[in-house]
Chains A and B, each alone.
Chain A
Protein backbone atom coordinates (compact mmCIF):
# COMPACT_ATOMS: atom_id res chain seq x y z
CA UNK A 1 0.00 0.00 0.00
CA UNK A 2 1.27 3.46 -0.88
CA UNK A 3 1.69 5.59 2.23
CA UNK A 4 0.14 9.06 2.14
CA UNK A 5 1.16 10.11 5.63
CA UNK A 6 4.61 9.54 7.00
CA UNK A 7 6.34 10.54 10.23
CA UNK A 8 9.99 9.75 10.83
CA UNK A 9 11.48 10.22 14.29
CA UNK A 10 9.16 13.13 14.89
CA UNK A 11 10.03 15.26 17.94
CA UNK A 12 8.35 18.28 19.54
CA UNK A 13 9.69 19.95 22.64
CA UNK A 14 8.12 22.76 24.67
CA UNK A 15 11.09 24.10 26.62
CA UNK A 16 12.49 21.02 28.35
CA UNK A 17 9.30 19.04 27.95
CA UNK A 18 9.34 16.48 25.17
CA UNK A 19 5.68 16.42 24.17
CA UNK A 20 6.40 14.18 21.16
CA UNK A 21 9.52 12.14 21.55
CA UNK A 22 10.58 10.35 18.41
CA UNK A 23 7.50 8.93 16.72
CA UNK A 24 7.62 6.99 13.45
CA UNK A 25 4.67 5.66 11.49
CA UNK A 26 3.05 5.50 8.07
CA UNK A 27 -0.56 5.63 6.99
CA UNK A 28 -1.54 3.97 3.75
CA UNK A 29 -3.87 5.43 1.13
CA UNK A 30 -7.49 4.71 1.99
CA UNK A 31 -6.63 3.42 5.44
CA UNK A 32 -8.20 4.50 8.73
CA UNK A 33 -5.38 4.97 11.19
CA UNK A 34 -5.97 5.77 14.87
CA UNK A 35 -3.70 7.59 17.28
CA UNK A 36 -4.55 6.64 20.86
CA UNK A 37 -3.09 7.62 24.18
CA UNK A 38 -3.96 9.13 27.55
CA UNK A 39 -4.45 12.87 28.09
CA UNK A 40 -1.23 14.71 27.39
CA UNK A 41 0.28 11.80 25.45
CA UNK A 42 1.05 14.13 22.54
CA UNK A 43 -1.68 13.23 20.04
CA UNK A 44 -2.82 16.75 19.29
CA UNK A 45 0.76 17.98 19.16
CA UNK A 46 1.57 15.28 16.59
CA UNK A 47 -1.49 16.24 14.56
CA UNK A 48 -0.70 19.94 14.61
CA UNK A 49 2.73 19.36 13.15
CA UNK A 50 1.07 17.79 10.11
CA UNK A 51 -0.94 20.89 9.34
CA UNK A 52 1.45 23.56 10.42
CA UNK A 53 -0.16 24.73 13.67
CA UNK A 54 2.90 23.53 15.53
CA UNK A 55 6.57 23.82 14.65
CA UNK A 56 8.52 20.59 14.11
CA UNK A 57 11.45 20.36 16.52
CA UNK A 58 13.12 17.42 14.78
CA UNK A 59 12.31 14.60 12.41
CA UNK A 60 10.57 14.43 9.07
CA UNK A 61 6.93 14.64 8.07
CA UNK A 62 5.41 13.92 4.71
CA UNK A 63 1.83 14.24 3.52
CA UNK A 64 1.06 12.93 0.03
CA UNK A 65 4.81 12.83 -0.52
CA UNK A 66 5.19 16.54 0.30
CA UNK A 67 7.63 17.57 2.99
CA UNK A 68 5.78 19.43 5.75
CA UNK A 69 8.72 21.75 6.32
CA UNK A 70 8.63 23.02 2.75
CA UNK A 71 5.17 22.54 1.28
CA UNK A 72 2.80 23.40 4.10
CA UNK A 73 0.56 25.52 1.92
CA UNK A 74 0.07 22.73 -0.61
CA UNK A 75 -0.47 20.19 2.16
CA UNK A 76 -3.14 22.33 3.79
CA UNK A 77 -4.86 22.76 0.44
CA UNK A 78 -5.05 18.99 0.06
CA UNK A 79 -6.28 17.87 3.49
CA UNK A 80 -9.31 18.39 5.70
CA UNK A 81 -8.93 19.04 9.40
CA UNK A 82 -11.34 18.50 12.29
CA UNK A 83 -9.38 20.03 15.16
CA UNK A 84 -9.90 19.15 18.81
CA UNK A 85 -11.33 22.64 19.45
CA UNK A 86 -14.14 23.46 17.01
CA UNK A 87 -12.96 27.00 16.28
CA UNK A 88 -16.29 27.95 14.74
CA UNK A 89 -16.71 31.68 14.17
CA UNK A 90 -19.38 33.03 16.55
CA UNK A 91 -19.64 36.22 14.48
CA UNK A 92 -21.34 34.32 11.65
CA UNK A 93 -24.20 31.95 10.94
CA UNK A 94 -23.82 28.25 10.21
CA UNK A 95 -23.87 28.68 6.44
CA UNK A 96 -21.58 31.71 6.57
CA UNK A 97 -19.07 29.73 8.60
CA UNK A 98 -18.80 27.29 5.72
CA UNK A 99 -18.71 29.95 3.01
CA UNK A 100 -16.04 31.97 4.74
CA UNK A 101 -13.91 28.90 5.39
CA UNK A 102 -14.31 27.95 1.73
CA UNK A 103 -13.07 31.40 0.73
CA UNK A 104 -9.75 30.68 2.43
CA UNK A 105 -9.29 27.87 -0.08
CA UNK A 106 -10.14 30.20 -2.93
CA UNK A 107 -13.62 28.68 -3.34
CA UNK A 108 -16.32 31.26 -3.83
CA UNK A 109 -19.58 32.10 -5.50
CA UNK A 110 -22.25 29.61 -6.40
CA UNK A 111 -19.92 26.60 -6.43
CA UNK A 112 -18.96 27.19 -2.80
CA UNK A 113 -22.56 27.79 -1.85
CA UNK A 114 -23.79 24.64 -3.58
CA UNK A 115 -21.13 22.56 -1.85
CA UNK A 116 -21.92 24.11 1.55
CA UNK A 117 -25.62 23.42 1.16
CA UNK A 118 -24.95 19.86 0.05
CA UNK A 119 -22.80 19.30 3.14
CA UNK A 120 -25.35 20.87 5.48
CA UNK A 121 -27.91 18.42 4.13
CA UNK A 122 -25.50 15.53 4.55
CA UNK A 123 -24.85 16.58 8.17
CA UNK A 124 -28.58 17.08 8.78
CA UNK A 125 -28.06 20.76 9.52
CA UNK A 126 -30.07 22.24 6.65
CA UNK A 127 -32.65 23.72 9.02
CA UNK A 128 -29.93 25.52 10.92
CA UNK A 129 -28.12 27.22 8.07
CA UNK A 130 -29.17 30.73 9.17
CA UNK A 131 -28.73 30.09 12.90
CA UNK A 132 -26.00 31.48 15.11
CA UNK A 133 -23.23 29.13 16.19
CA UNK A 134 -24.11 29.65 19.85
CA UNK A 135 -27.54 28.12 19.32
CA UNK A 136 -26.14 24.75 18.19
CA UNK A 137 -25.74 21.73 20.45
CA UNK A 138 -22.32 20.15 20.91
CA UNK A 139 -23.18 17.41 18.45
CA UNK A 140 -24.35 19.85 15.80
CA UNK A 141 -21.17 21.89 16.17
CA UNK A 142 -19.09 18.79 15.67
CA UNK A 143 -21.07 17.92 12.55
CA UNK A 144 -20.60 21.42 11.24
CA UNK A 145 -16.86 21.13 11.80
CA UNK A 146 -16.86 17.88 9.82
CA UNK A 147 -18.78 19.62 7.04
CA UNK A 148 -16.21 22.43 7.12
CA UNK A 149 -13.38 19.93 6.75
CA UNK A 150 -15.10 18.30 3.77
CA UNK A 151 -15.72 21.47 1.74
CA UNK A 152 -12.80 20.84 -0.61
CA UNK A 153 -13.42 17.05 -0.89
CA UNK A 154 -10.02 16.30 0.66
CA UNK A 155 -8.28 13.00 0.04
CA UNK A 156 -7.04 12.90 3.64
CA UNK A 157 -8.97 13.79 6.77
CA UNK A 158 -7.32 14.59 10.10
CA UNK A 159 -9.84 14.10 12.91
CA UNK A 160 -8.70 15.05 16.42
CA UNK A 161 -11.20 13.45 18.80
CA UNK A 162 -14.10 13.79 16.35
CA UNK A 163 -16.71 12.33 18.69
CA UNK A 164 -15.66 13.52 22.14
CA UNK A 165 -18.68 14.81 24.03
CA UNK A 166 -21.23 13.27 21.67
CA UNK A 167 -24.10 11.03 22.76
CA UNK A 168 -24.18 7.39 21.61
CA UNK A 169 -26.55 8.07 18.71
CA UNK A 170 -24.49 10.96 17.45
CA UNK A 171 -21.35 8.88 17.75
CA UNK A 172 -22.87 6.01 15.79
CA UNK A 173 -24.01 8.50 13.16
CA UNK A 174 -20.47 9.88 12.94
CA UNK A 175 -18.96 6.42 12.58
CA UNK A 176 -21.31 5.70 9.73
CA UNK A 177 -20.39 8.91 8.00
CA UNK A 178 -16.68 8.27 8.42
CA UNK A 179 -17.00 4.73 7.13
CA UNK A 180 -18.76 5.90 4.01
CA UNK A 181 -16.08 8.53 3.44
CA UNK A 182 -13.49 5.80 3.72
CA UNK A 183 -15.40 3.70 1.20
CA UNK A 184 -15.19 6.60 -1.21
CA UNK A 185 -11.42 6.47 -0.86
CA UNK A 186 -10.70 9.07 1.80
CA UNK A 187 -7.79 8.32 4.11
CA UNK A 188 -8.78 8.85 7.73
CA UNK A 189 -6.30 9.71 10.45
CA UNK A 190 -7.98 10.13 13.81
CA UNK A 191 -7.34 10.37 17.52
CA UNK A 192 -9.83 9.13 20.05
CA UNK A 193 -10.29 8.26 23.71
CA UNK A 194 -13.01 5.75 22.83
CA UNK A 195 -11.64 2.27 22.40
CA UNK A 196 -14.78 1.00 20.75
CA UNK A 197 -14.44 3.80 18.22
CA UNK A 198 -10.90 2.71 17.38
CA UNK A 199 -11.98 -0.94 17.16
CA UNK A 200 -14.94 -0.01 15.03
CA UNK A 201 -13.19 2.24 12.54
CA UNK A 202 -9.45 1.76 12.51
CA UNK A 203 -7.60 -0.84 10.53
CA UNK A 204 -4.47 0.04 12.49
CA UNK A 205 -3.75 2.02 15.59
CA UNK A 206 -0.77 3.48 17.34
CA UNK A 207 -0.83 3.89 21.10
CA UNK A 208 1.25 6.75 22.46
CA UNK A 209 2.29 7.43 26.00
CA UNK A 210 4.34 10.42 27.18
CA UNK A 211 5.22 11.32 23.62
CA UNK A 212 6.46 7.88 22.67
CA UNK A 213 4.97 5.11 20.59
CA UNK A 214 4.26 2.11 22.81
CA UNK A 215 2.28 -0.21 20.55
CA UNK A 216 1.22 -0.33 16.93
CA UNK A 217 -0.86 -2.72 14.90
CA UNK A 218 -4.35 -3.87 14.00
CA UNK A 219 -6.69 -3.69 17.01
CA UNK A 220 -7.36 -7.43 16.84
CA UNK A 221 -3.66 -8.26 16.80
CA UNK A 222 -2.91 -5.92 19.66
CA UNK A 223 -5.65 -7.46 21.76
CA UNK A 224 -4.34 -10.90 21.04
CA UNK A 225 -0.72 -10.13 21.76
CA UNK A 226 -1.20 -7.87 24.79
CA UNK A 227 -4.07 -9.51 26.62
CA UNK A 228 -5.32 -12.66 24.96
CA UNK A 229 -8.87 -13.62 24.12
CA UNK A 230 -10.80 -13.32 27.37
CA UNK A 231 -10.61 -11.42 30.63
CA UNK A 232 -11.77 -12.43 34.10
CA UNK A 233 -12.29 -9.46 36.34
CA UNK A 234 -13.20 -9.51 40.03
CA UNK A 235 -12.93 -7.76 43.38
CA UNK A 236 -10.58 -9.10 45.96
CA UNK A 237 -9.85 -8.35 49.62
CA UNK A 238 -6.81 -6.02 49.54
CA UNK A 239 -5.26 -7.93 52.45
CA UNK A 240 -5.23 -11.11 50.42
CA UNK A 241 -4.14 -9.68 47.11
CA UNK A 242 -0.41 -10.41 47.40
CA UNK A 243 -0.96 -13.97 48.46
CA UNK A 244 -3.39 -14.55 45.61
CA UNK A 245 -1.06 -13.06 43.04
CA UNK A 246 1.65 -15.36 44.34
CA UNK A 247 -0.59 -18.31 43.52
CA UNK A 248 -1.55 -17.35 40.00
CA UNK A 249 1.31 -15.28 38.65
CA UNK A 250 3.00 -18.17 36.91
CA UNK A 251 -0.19 -19.20 35.16
CA UNK A 252 -1.90 -15.97 34.13
CA UNK A 253 -1.03 -12.53 32.97
CA UNK A 254 -2.80 -10.06 35.29
CA UNK A 255 -3.29 -6.43 36.18
CA UNK A 256 -4.26 -4.89 39.53
CA UNK A 257 -6.27 -1.75 40.14
CA UNK A 258 -6.55 -1.30 43.93
CA UNK A 259 -8.82 -4.13 45.03
CA UNK A 260 -9.82 -5.17 41.54
CA UNK A 261 -7.91 -7.80 39.63
CA UNK A 262 -7.93 -8.71 35.95
CA UNK A 263 -6.68 -12.05 34.65
CA UNK A 264 -5.92 -12.24 30.95
CA UNK A 265 -6.67 -15.58 29.30
CA UNK A 266 -4.52 -16.83 26.43
CA UNK A 267 -5.93 -19.02 23.68
CA UNK A 268 -4.94 -22.19 25.49
CA UNK A 269 -6.46 -21.07 28.82
CA UNK A 270 -10.13 -21.36 29.64
CA UNK A 271 -12.33 -19.43 31.97
CA UNK A 272 -12.72 -22.56 34.08
CA UNK A 273 -8.94 -22.67 34.69
CA UNK A 274 -9.01 -19.15 35.98
CA UNK A 275 -12.24 -19.32 37.92
CA UNK A 276 -11.16 -22.40 39.85
CA UNK A 277 -8.55 -20.21 41.48
CA UNK A 278 -10.97 -17.45 42.36
CA UNK A 279 -13.42 -16.89 45.14
CA UNK A 280 -15.14 -13.55 44.89
CA UNK A 281 -18.79 -12.53 44.96
CA UNK A 282 -18.30 -10.28 42.00
CA UNK A 283 -16.82 -12.01 38.95
CA UNK A 284 -17.07 -10.93 35.32
CA UNK A 285 -15.94 -13.00 32.39
CA UNK A 286 -15.79 -11.15 29.09
CA UNK A 287 -14.05 -10.90 25.76
CA UNK A 288 -10.76 -9.03 25.78
CA UNK A 289 -11.00 -5.56 24.28
CA UNK A 290 -8.81 -2.72 23.17
CA UNK A 291 -9.66 -1.06 26.47
CA UNK A 292 -7.73 -3.81 28.26
CA UNK A 293 -4.78 -3.26 25.96
CA UNK A 294 -4.89 0.47 26.57
CA UNK A 295 -5.06 0.15 30.34
CA UNK A 296 -2.40 -2.52 30.40
CA UNK A 297 -0.04 -0.30 28.43
CA UNK A 298 -0.74 3.03 30.03
CA UNK A 299 -1.68 1.84 33.53
CA UNK A 300 -4.37 3.13 35.85
CA UNK A 301 -2.63 6.27 37.03
CA UNK A 302 -3.83 9.66 35.84
CA UNK A 303 -1.36 10.95 33.34
CA UNK A 304 -1.57 14.69 33.19
Chain B
Protein backbone atom coordinates (compact mmCIF):
# COMPACT_ATOMS: atom_id res chain seq x y z
CA UNK B 1 0.00 0.00 0.00
CA UNK B 2 2.76 2.42 0.90
CA UNK B 3 4.31 1.57 -2.43
CA UNK B 4 1.19 2.66 -4.29
CA UNK B 5 1.00 5.84 -2.22
CA UNK B 6 4.66 6.51 -2.96
CA UNK B 7 4.07 5.97 -6.66
CA UNK B 8 1.13 8.35 -6.71
CA UNK B 9 3.01 11.00 -4.75
CA UNK B 10 6.01 10.71 -7.04
CA UNK B 11 3.84 10.89 -10.14
CA UNK B 12 2.03 13.99 -8.93
CA UNK B 13 5.39 15.64 -8.27
CA UNK B 14 6.67 14.56 -11.69
CA UNK B 15 3.90 16.50 -13.42
CA UNK B 16 5.92 19.59 -12.55
CA UNK B 17 9.20 18.21 -13.86
CA UNK B 18 9.94 20.50 -16.77
CA UNK B 19 12.42 18.86 -19.11
CA UNK B 20 15.40 20.53 -20.74
CA UNK B 21 15.18 20.79 -24.50
CA UNK B 22 18.22 20.50 -26.73
CA UNK B 23 19.53 19.50 -30.10
CA UNK B 24 19.91 15.94 -28.81
CA UNK B 25 16.15 15.48 -29.26
CA UNK B 26 16.63 15.52 -33.02
CA UNK B 27 19.55 13.07 -32.88
CA UNK B 28 17.47 10.62 -30.86
CA UNK B 29 14.54 11.08 -33.24
CA UNK B 30 16.87 10.55 -36.20
CA UNK B 31 18.18 7.27 -34.80
CA UNK B 32 14.64 5.92 -34.62
CA UNK B 33 13.80 7.26 -38.04
CA UNK B 34 16.87 5.54 -39.55
CA UNK B 35 15.74 2.25 -38.07
CA UNK B 36 12.21 2.84 -39.32
CA UNK B 37 13.55 3.07 -42.86
CA UNK B 38 14.41 -0.63 -42.66
CA UNK B 39 10.92 -1.58 -41.63
CA UNK B 40 9.02 0.97 -43.66
CA UNK B 41 7.51 -1.50 -46.09
CA UNK B 42 5.99 -3.78 -43.49
CA UNK B 43 4.83 -0.83 -41.42
CA UNK B 44 3.19 1.02 -44.26
CA UNK B 45 1.61 -2.20 -45.48
CA UNK B 46 -0.32 -2.72 -42.28
CA UNK B 47 -1.01 0.96 -41.85
CA UNK B 48 -2.83 0.88 -45.21
CA UNK B 49 -4.38 -2.54 -44.76
CA UNK B 50 -5.80 -1.92 -41.30
CA UNK B 51 -8.04 1.03 -42.18
CA UNK B 52 -9.33 -0.93 -45.15
CA UNK B 53 -10.32 -3.74 -42.80
CA UNK B 54 -12.27 -1.27 -40.69
CA UNK B 55 -13.87 0.29 -43.70
CA UNK B 56 -15.10 -3.06 -44.95
CA UNK B 57 -16.10 -4.60 -41.63
CA UNK B 58 -17.76 -1.59 -40.02
CA UNK B 59 -18.58 0.50 -43.01
CA UNK B 60 -19.88 -1.84 -45.66
CA UNK B 61 -20.66 -4.75 -43.33
CA UNK B 62 -22.18 -3.26 -40.21
CA UNK B 63 -23.03 -0.03 -42.00
CA UNK B 64 -25.47 -1.94 -44.15
CA UNK B 65 -27.75 -2.30 -41.11
CA UNK B 66 -27.36 1.27 -39.92
CA UNK B 67 -29.34 3.89 -41.73
CA UNK B 68 -27.78 7.21 -40.82
CA UNK B 69 -25.98 8.78 -37.89
CA UNK B 70 -26.26 12.54 -37.49
CA UNK B 71 -27.49 12.74 -41.02
CA UNK B 72 -24.59 10.99 -42.69
CA UNK B 73 -23.99 7.44 -43.86
CA UNK B 74 -22.46 5.17 -41.23
CA UNK B 75 -19.23 4.74 -43.09
CA UNK B 76 -18.72 8.47 -43.34
CA UNK B 77 -19.58 8.77 -39.67
CA UNK B 78 -16.84 6.38 -38.60
CA UNK B 79 -14.19 7.67 -41.01
CA UNK B 80 -12.59 10.11 -38.51
CA UNK B 81 -12.69 7.36 -35.87
CA UNK B 82 -10.62 5.09 -38.08
CA UNK B 83 -8.09 7.89 -38.39
CA UNK B 84 -7.95 8.74 -34.71
CA UNK B 85 -7.79 5.16 -33.46
CA UNK B 86 -5.04 4.39 -35.92
CA UNK B 87 -2.97 7.27 -34.52
CA UNK B 88 -3.78 6.18 -31.00
CA UNK B 89 -2.79 2.55 -31.54
CA UNK B 90 0.43 3.30 -33.42
CA UNK B 91 1.51 5.99 -30.92
CA UNK B 92 0.72 3.75 -27.98
CA UNK B 93 2.42 0.63 -29.36
CA UNK B 94 5.53 2.41 -30.55
CA UNK B 95 5.70 4.24 -27.22
CA UNK B 96 5.29 1.16 -25.06
CA UNK B 97 6.78 -1.85 -26.86
CA UNK B 98 9.10 0.08 -29.16
CA UNK B 99 10.57 2.22 -26.43
CA UNK B 100 10.71 -0.54 -23.84
CA UNK B 101 12.84 -2.73 -26.11
CA UNK B 102 15.37 0.07 -26.44
CA UNK B 103 15.20 0.96 -22.76
CA UNK B 104 15.33 -2.43 -21.11
CA UNK B 105 16.50 -4.97 -23.67
CA UNK B 106 19.02 -3.19 -25.88
CA UNK B 107 20.32 -0.56 -23.46
CA UNK B 108 20.16 1.88 -26.34
CA UNK B 109 19.54 4.82 -24.03
CA UNK B 110 22.31 3.98 -21.54
CA UNK B 111 24.69 4.32 -24.46
CA UNK B 112 23.15 7.57 -25.69
CA UNK B 113 23.63 9.24 -22.32
CA UNK B 114 27.38 8.61 -22.50
CA UNK B 115 27.31 11.45 -25.02
CA UNK B 116 26.32 15.09 -24.44
CA UNK B 117 22.68 14.10 -24.97
CA UNK B 118 20.77 14.20 -21.68
CA UNK B 119 17.98 11.97 -20.39
CA UNK B 120 15.31 14.63 -21.04
CA UNK B 121 16.31 14.79 -24.67
CA UNK B 122 16.17 11.00 -24.89
CA UNK B 123 12.63 10.94 -23.49
CA UNK B 124 11.41 13.77 -25.67
CA UNK B 125 13.20 12.42 -28.75
CA UNK B 126 11.42 9.09 -28.22
CA UNK B 127 8.04 10.79 -27.77
CA UNK B 128 8.69 12.87 -30.87
CA UNK B 129 9.52 9.77 -32.84
CA UNK B 130 6.45 7.82 -31.66
CA UNK B 131 4.31 10.85 -32.46
CA UNK B 132 5.85 11.03 -35.91
CA UNK B 133 5.17 7.39 -36.62
CA UNK B 134 1.58 7.74 -35.39
CA UNK B 135 1.12 10.83 -37.57
CA UNK B 136 2.42 8.94 -40.60
CA UNK B 137 -0.19 6.34 -39.90
CA UNK B 138 -2.92 8.98 -39.58
CA UNK B 139 -1.84 10.51 -42.88
CA UNK B 140 -1.84 7.23 -44.72
CA UNK B 141 -5.29 6.41 -43.33
CA UNK B 142 -6.47 9.83 -44.45
CA UNK B 143 -5.17 9.15 -47.93
CA UNK B 144 -7.06 5.86 -48.07
CA UNK B 145 -10.27 7.49 -46.83
CA UNK B 146 -10.04 10.40 -49.24
CA UNK B 147 -9.32 8.07 -52.14
CA UNK B 148 -12.38 6.02 -51.23
CA UNK B 149 -14.37 9.25 -51.19
CA UNK B 150 -15.28 8.79 -47.54
CA UNK B 151 -13.77 12.00 -46.26
CA UNK B 152 -14.17 15.57 -47.50
CA UNK B 153 -10.86 17.31 -48.11
CA UNK B 154 -12.27 20.73 -47.25
CA UNK B 155 -11.34 20.94 -43.59
CA UNK B 156 -8.54 18.43 -43.70
CA UNK B 157 -5.86 20.71 -42.20
CA UNK B 158 -7.53 21.35 -38.83
CA UNK B 159 -8.65 17.72 -38.64
CA UNK B 160 -5.07 16.58 -39.13
CA UNK B 161 -4.00 19.08 -36.46
CA UNK B 162 -6.40 17.48 -34.00
CA UNK B 163 -5.15 14.05 -34.98
CA UNK B 164 -1.50 15.02 -34.50
CA UNK B 165 -2.22 16.26 -30.99
CA UNK B 166 -3.95 12.97 -30.30
CA UNK B 167 -0.90 11.08 -31.57
CA UNK B 168 1.32 13.07 -29.21
CA UNK B 169 -0.89 12.35 -26.19
CA UNK B 170 -0.83 8.60 -26.79
CA UNK B 171 2.84 8.50 -27.75
CA UNK B 172 3.77 10.34 -24.56
CA UNK B 173 1.45 8.12 -22.53
CA UNK B 174 3.07 5.03 -24.03
CA UNK B 175 6.62 6.25 -23.46
CA UNK B 176 5.73 7.08 -19.86
CA UNK B 177 4.37 3.56 -19.38
CA UNK B 178 7.55 2.13 -20.89
CA UNK B 179 9.60 4.14 -18.43
CA UNK B 180 7.83 2.57 -15.43
CA UNK B 181 7.33 -0.93 -16.88
CA UNK B 182 9.18 -4.00 -15.66
CA UNK B 183 8.06 -6.32 -18.44
CA UNK B 184 6.15 -6.43 -21.73
CA UNK B 185 3.19 -8.30 -20.16
CA UNK B 186 2.41 -5.21 -18.19
CA UNK B 187 1.40 -3.27 -21.30
CA UNK B 188 -1.35 -5.78 -22.02
CA UNK B 189 -3.40 -4.45 -19.09
CA UNK B 190 -3.42 -0.96 -20.53
CA UNK B 191 -4.03 -2.26 -23.99
CA UNK B 192 -7.15 -4.26 -23.16
CA UNK B 193 -8.23 -2.23 -20.13
CA UNK B 194 -7.79 1.21 -21.58
CA UNK B 195 -6.78 1.60 -25.19
CA UNK B 196 -9.20 -0.90 -26.72
CA UNK B 197 -12.26 0.26 -24.70
CA UNK B 198 -11.39 3.84 -25.61
CA UNK B 199 -11.35 2.95 -29.29
CA UNK B 200 -14.93 1.68 -28.89
CA UNK B 201 -16.62 4.07 -26.45
CA UNK B 202 -15.31 7.55 -27.10
CA UNK B 203 -17.82 8.54 -29.69
CA UNK B 204 -16.01 6.54 -32.32
CA UNK B 205 -18.45 4.00 -33.75
CA UNK B 206 -21.60 5.39 -32.16
CA UNK B 207 -22.46 8.78 -30.60
CA UNK B 208 -21.48 9.39 -27.00
CA UNK B 209 -25.08 10.26 -26.19
CA UNK B 210 -25.95 6.54 -26.36
CA UNK B 211 -23.88 5.92 -23.22
CA UNK B 212 -25.50 5.80 -19.75
CA UNK B 213 -24.87 9.06 -17.96
CA UNK B 214 -22.10 8.00 -15.51
CA UNK B 215 -20.12 6.40 -18.32
CA UNK B 216 -20.74 9.44 -20.49
CA UNK B 217 -19.21 11.64 -17.78
CA UNK B 218 -16.27 9.27 -17.48
CA UNK B 219 -15.77 9.30 -21.25
CA UNK B 220 -15.46 13.07 -21.14
CA UNK B 221 -12.12 12.63 -19.38
CA UNK B 222 -10.72 10.36 -22.07
CA UNK B 223 -8.47 11.99 -24.67
CA UNK B 224 -9.97 10.16 -27.61
CA UNK B 225 -13.38 11.67 -26.83
CA UNK B 226 -11.95 15.13 -27.34
CA UNK B 227 -10.24 14.09 -30.54
CA UNK B 228 -13.53 12.76 -31.89
CA UNK B 229 -15.61 15.76 -30.81
CA UNK B 230 -13.31 18.30 -32.38
CA UNK B 231 -12.57 16.44 -35.60
CA UNK B 232 -16.30 15.78 -36.14
CA UNK B 233 -16.93 19.46 -35.62
CA UNK B 234 -14.62 20.39 -38.46
CA UNK B 235 -15.83 17.68 -40.78
CA UNK B 236 -19.42 18.79 -40.24
CA UNK B 237 -18.38 22.41 -40.71
CA UNK B 238 -20.05 23.64 -37.50
CA UNK B 239 -17.15 25.13 -35.64
CA UNK B 240 -17.76 26.33 -32.07
CA UNK B 241 -15.93 27.26 -28.89
CA UNK B 242 -16.05 23.69 -27.61
CA UNK B 243 -13.06 23.18 -29.88
CA UNK B 244 -10.79 25.20 -27.57
CA UNK B 245 -11.68 23.05 -24.60
CA UNK B 246 -10.93 19.95 -26.65
CA UNK B 247 -7.58 21.30 -27.76
CA UNK B 248 -6.57 22.58 -24.34
CA UNK B 249 -7.40 19.26 -22.77
CA UNK B 250 -5.29 17.35 -25.32
CA UNK B 251 -2.37 19.75 -24.93
CA UNK B 252 -2.66 19.49 -21.15
CA UNK B 253 -2.47 15.68 -21.29
CA UNK B 254 0.41 15.81 -23.78
CA UNK B 255 2.43 18.07 -21.50
CA UNK B 256 1.64 16.01 -18.41
CA UNK B 257 2.63 12.69 -19.98
CA UNK B 258 5.75 14.22 -21.52
CA UNK B 259 6.85 15.58 -18.14
CA UNK B 260 6.09 12.27 -16.43
CA UNK B 261 8.07 10.34 -19.02
CA UNK B 262 11.07 12.68 -18.83
CA UNK B 263 11.15 12.53 -15.04
CA UNK B 264 11.02 8.72 -15.04
CA UNK B 265 13.64 8.44 -17.78
CA UNK B 266 15.96 10.55 -15.69
CA UNK B 267 15.55 8.39 -12.62
CA UNK B 268 15.75 5.16 -14.55
CA UNK B 269 18.79 5.98 -16.68
CA UNK B 270 20.80 7.76 -14.00
CA UNK B 271 20.82 5.38 -11.04
Q: Which residues of A contact B (CB under 8 A)?
A: 14, 48, 51-55, 72-74, 76-77, 81, 83, 85, 87-92, 96, 100-101, 103-106
Contacts and interface: CB of A to CB of B under 8 A. Distances in A.
Interface string B73-110: 00000000000000000000000000000000011101
B191 interface: no
Contacts of A88: 111
B113 A103 contact: no
Contacts of B117: 104
Interface string B154-167: 00000000000000
Contacts of B31: 89, 100, 103
B270 A104 contact: no
A72 to B, nearest CB: 8
A77 B116 CA distance: 5
Given A100-B34, A104-B24, A53 B116 contact: no
A54 B34 CA distance: 29
Contacts of B35: 91-92
B30 interface: yes
A73 B269 contact: no
B45 interface: no
Nearest to A88: B111
B42 interface: no
Nearest to A74: B116
A49 B115 CA distance: 14
A52 B34 contact: no
B229 interface: no
Given A53-B114, A106-B27, 19 more contacts: A53-B113, A54-B270, A55-B270, A73-B116, A76-B114, A76-B116, A77-B116, A83-B114, A85-B107, A90-B106, A91-B38, A92-B35, A100-B30, A100-B31, A103-B27, A103-B31, A104-B27, A104-B115, A105-B115
B150 interface: no
B271 A89 contact: no
B114 A81 contact: yes
30 contacts: A14-B271, A52-B113, A53-B271, A54-B270, A76-B114, A76-B115, A76-B116, A81-B114, A83-B111, A83-B114, A85-B110, A87-B108, A87-B110, A89-B31, A89-B108, A91-B35, A91-B106, A91-B108, A92-B34, A96-B34, A101-B115, A103-B27, A103-B30, A103-B31, A104-B112, A104-B115, A104-B116, A104-B117, A106-B23, A106-B116
A104 B27 CA distance: 6
B113 A87 contact: no
Nearest to B271: A54
Nearest to B30: A103
Interface string B1-24: 000000000000000000000011
A270 B114 CA distance: 51
A20 B112 CA distance: 25
Contacts of A51: 114
Contacts of A54: 270-271
Contacts of A92: 34-35
A89 B34 contact: no
A92 B35 CA distance: 7
Given A53-B270, A106-B23, A87 B116 contact: no
Contacts of B110: 53, 83, 85, 87
B118 interface: yes
Contacts of B27: 103-104, 106
A89 B111 contact: yes
A74 B70 CA distance: 59
A180 B136 CA distance: 49
A81 B113 CA distance: 11
Interface centre among A51, A55, A73, A88 (most CB of B within 10 A): A73
Given A100-B31, A106-B23, A89 B115 contact: no
Contacts of A72: 118
Which 3 A-B pairs give the minimum distances between C-beta atoms? A87-B111, A104-B115, A77-B116
